[in-house]
Amino acid sequence: MSNKALISGISGQDGAYLAQLLLSKGYEVIGTSRDAQMSSFSKLRLLDILEHVKLESMILTDFRSVLQVISKIQPDEIYNLAGQTSVGLSFNQPVETLESIATGTLNLLEVIRFLERPVKLYNACSSECFGELNGRAADESTPFRPCSPYAVAKAAAFWQVANYREAYNLFACSGILFNHESPLRPERFVTQKIVVAACRIAQGSQEKLHLGNLSIQRDWGWAPEYVDAMYRILQQEQPDDFVIATGKSYPLEQFVAAAFAYVDLDWQEHVFTDSSLKRPTDLSFSRGDAFKAEQKLQWQAQYTMPDVVQMMMESRLSQA
């Protein structure tokens, strides 16, 4: 009997790569979205795995919907990757952000508790929960000081998972993931926005790339490696939470410079700093310490920002 995994949020970057990984390990993979009949699942199609995944409609904010789907599927593992994913958008949609992340996670936990089945739950937490780190690297003991509606929602979900693990002895874990990118990122994320613009300009476009604060520093990793960490977290004997990061931070300006240098361009000739793109609050520095993951999961990031930029640029140019 193969293991059965349910991935909520399978249509996103991480969901698609995780589905690919689990299929390679012999899992039966079921993915959910709000309306499985209407969703394009373009990322699953790009990875050529759409035909190998079963799809179900599930509304995470509706307890009855979650109960029906999990009762029907009876998964061994659940990976909760759904919910609003943009920090910037969360300032415009704070209620939807909180409900899709915190209420969605709570419904999964309640259903698992109610059904009394030995289901393992992975919850996607975020480095945004740490807030401003002032040059320090965050590990599992670093306090949360969220600075956006997105981060507040992710922090709430994290503590819900911890509470249910302790109160009801559920196998429920959170991965506190720092930024991780890939060619599957939508263009509303600044990394893909930069890559796409650099490729268009290299091919003759006269546009200017408008960006906000170029001095922010982020710990950027490679998404396919990070979903491997998610899988490893659920294979432990005891449930626990883990920071997943490269341990190296770079200014956004260096990301921009690397992307334009890949196509032999000087970024300063093509980039315009636009103050309207700055967020109400934004973190100036972010870096993770994944020592615990290295020790317990035998996981360590192989790729850092320069590698990520190169792979994203290669992929984009190959589509031209």
Active site residues: 126, 128, 150
CB 20 within 8 A of CB 49: yes
| Angle at CA of residue 243, ends 251 and 241, nearest 5° | 160
CB atoms closer than 10 angstroms to residue 71: 12
CB 211 within 8 A of CB 217: no
Nearest to 26 by CA among 76, 72, 68: 76
CB 58 within 8 A of CB 65: yes
CB 168 within 8 A of CB 153: no
* CB contact set of 201 (below 8 Å; sequence gap of 6+): 207, 209, 260, 263, 265, 270
| Angle at CA of residue 19, ends 13 and 25, nearest 5° | 140
Residue 240 vs residues 7, 104, 123, 175: alpha-carbon distances, Å: 19, 20, 11, 9
110 φ, ψ (degrees, to nearest 5)? -65, -40
Distance CA 234, CA 163 (A): 18
Residues 57/11/252/129 CA torsion (nearest 10 deg) = 40
Tokens of 101: 């992340």
Residue 99 vs residues 15, 52, 66, 224: alpha-carbon distances, Å: 20, 31, 14, 27
Distance CA 308, CA 316 (A): 12
